[in-house]
Amino acid sequence: MPAKGSAEWKGDVPTGTGTFTAGDTISGGYTFKSRFEDGPGSNPEQLIAAAHASCFSMALSNLLAQAGHPPDLVHTDATVTLRRVDDTPTITKIALVTTGKVPGVDAATFADLAAKAKAGCPVSRALAGVPEITLDATLET
């Protein structure tokens, strides 16, 4: 099933505005300030962060269940860092921080499966060109 999104930009980059939609229910607006100056609104990097966190959480939950440990909860935060590299805005880092409530699993197994989920989820694979993707995985007791 193809996933669809769209965006529109009006005006020049410093003063213009953009809107986006993702699927049927997600929409928002973005500006130069919301993307590059920490201003109000959304930006494409937030969408990448949400996509990565969602995909990773689902992949880890699947691996845990396949290993006989269906999780009660897997929560993941993703932080996407945008910096200038050779005067070009570039995503230089994605930090994944995940916690899980998983009956019957030990911390080492959780960390191992989290690393496998990071390497194998489709969004991680699509973002393979990002120079640094880190993972902090914590099992809650």
Judged by phi (left if over 0) then psi (alpha if -120 to 50, else beta), residue 13 lies in: alpha
Residues in the chain, total:
141
The 10 Å Cβ neighbour count of residue 96 is 24
- The pLDDT of residue 141: 78
Greatest Cα-to-Cα distance within the chain, rounded to the nearest angstrom: 56
The model's pLDDT over 63-82, given as tens digits with 9 standing for 90+, comes to: 999 999 999 999 999 999 99
Same structural domain, 88 and 119: yes
Q: What is the pTM of this model?
A: 0.93
Same structural domain, 83 and 110: yes
Same structural domain, 29 and 60: no
Please tell me which residue, 2 or 18, carries the higher pLDDT value.
Answer: 18
Task: Give mean pLDDT, residues 46-50.
Answer: 96
Q: Is the pLDDT of residue 38 over 90?
A: no
Token duo for residue 48: 């990448």
Number of domains in the chain: 2
> In 3-state terms, what secondary structure has residue 121?
coil
* Residues of the domain holding 92: 44-140
Same structural domain, 58 and 123: yes
**CATH label of the domain that carries residue 54:** 3.30.300.20
Q: Per-residue confidence at 1, pLDDT binned at 50, 70, 90?
A: confident
Phi, psi for residue 82 in degrees, rounded to 5? -110, 120
H or E element at residue 79: strand 73-85
